[in-house]
Structure 1
Amino acid sequence: MRNIFTFGHRPAQRNWNVADLRANKGKLQLTEVTAMNGEQAARAAAAGIDTIITRSQMLKEVREAAPKTFVTAALMLIDHPTENDVLTGAMRALDEGADALYTTRSLDTIKMLADLDFPVMGHVGLLPPYSTWIGGLRAYGTTADEAMGLVDRFRAMEEAGAFAVEVELVPQQVLESINKQTSLITFSIGSGSGGDVTFLFSEDICGETNNPPRHAHAYGNVLRLQERIERERVEALSAFQSAVRNGSFPYKEVTISMKPHELEAFQARLGETAPLGARKG
Structure 2
Amino acid sequence: MEDLNMAKRKMSIADFKDYKKRGQKFAYVTAYDYTMASIVNESDCEVILVGDSLAMVMLGRKTTVGITLDDMIHHIKPVVLGAPNTFVVGDMPFGSYNISAEQAIASANRILMETNCDCVKLEGGVEYKDTIAAMVKAGIPVMGHIGLTPQTATSLGGFRVQGGTPESAKKLIEDAKALEAAGAFSIVVECVPSVVAAALSKAVEIPILGIGAGPDVDCQVLVTQDMLDMYGDFKPKFVKHFAHIRKAMVDGLNAFHEETVSGVFPSEEYSFNKNVDIPRLY
Task: Identify the TM-score tier after normalising by the shorter chain.
Answer: 0.7 to 0.9
Instruction: Name the aligned partner's letter for residue 35 of structure 2.
Output: E
User: Could you tell me how far 1:198 is from its partner in structure 2?
Assistant: 0.7
Retained in 1: the 8 A contact 2:77–2:116? yes
1:144 pairs with 2:162: no
1:174 pairs with 2:192: no
1:217 pairs with 2:215: no
Aligned to 2:54: none
Aligned to 2:15: 20
1:100 pairs with 2:119: yes
Q: In the aligned structure 1, how far is the partner of 2:244 from the partner of 2:44?
A: 20
% identical equivalent positions: 25
Aligned to 2:216: 194
Retained in 1: the 8 A contact 2:187–2:208? yes
Q: Following superposition, which runs of at least 4 residues in structure 1 exceed 4 angstroms of deviation?
A: 78-85, 236-240, 253-259
Retained in 1: the 8 A contact 2:16–2:185? no
Secondary structure in structure 1 of the residue aligned to 2:28: strand
Instruction: Name the aligned partner's letter for residue 15 of structure 2.
Output: D
TM-score where L is the length of structure 2: 0.75
Q: What residue ranges of structure 1 are gaps of 5+ in the alignment?
A: 1-12, 241-252, 271-281
Aligned to 2:69: none
Q: In the aligned structure 2, how far is the partner of 1:90 from the partner of 1:160?
A: 16
Q: In the aligned structure 1, how far is the partner of 2:193 from the partner of 2:185?
A: 22
TM-score where L is the length of structure 1: 0.75
Retained in 2: the 8 A contact 1:76–1:104? no
The number of equivalent residue pairs is 239
Instruction: Name the aligned partner's letter for residue 192 of structure 1.
Output: G
Aligned to 2:92: 75
Retained in 2: the 8 A contact 1:33–1:51? yes
Aligned to 2:50: 54
Aligned to 2:26: 30
Q: Could you give the per-residue CA deviations for residues 182-231 of structure 1, whole angstroms, max 9, x where no partner exists? A: 12321100001221111001111211112021111111111101222333
Retained in 2: the 8 A contact 1:164–1:186? yes
Change (3 A) 1:60 1:14: farther
Q: In the aligned structure 1, how far is the partner of 2:224 from the partner of 2:103?
A: 28
Of 59, 66, 69, the residue aligned with 2:83 is 66
Instruction: Name the aligned partner's letter for residue 223 of structure 1.
Output: R
Change (3 A) 1:79 1:152: closer
Q: In the aligned structure 2, how far is the partner of 1:237 from the partner of 1:86?
A: 52
- Specify the structure having the higher radius of gyration (Cα): 1
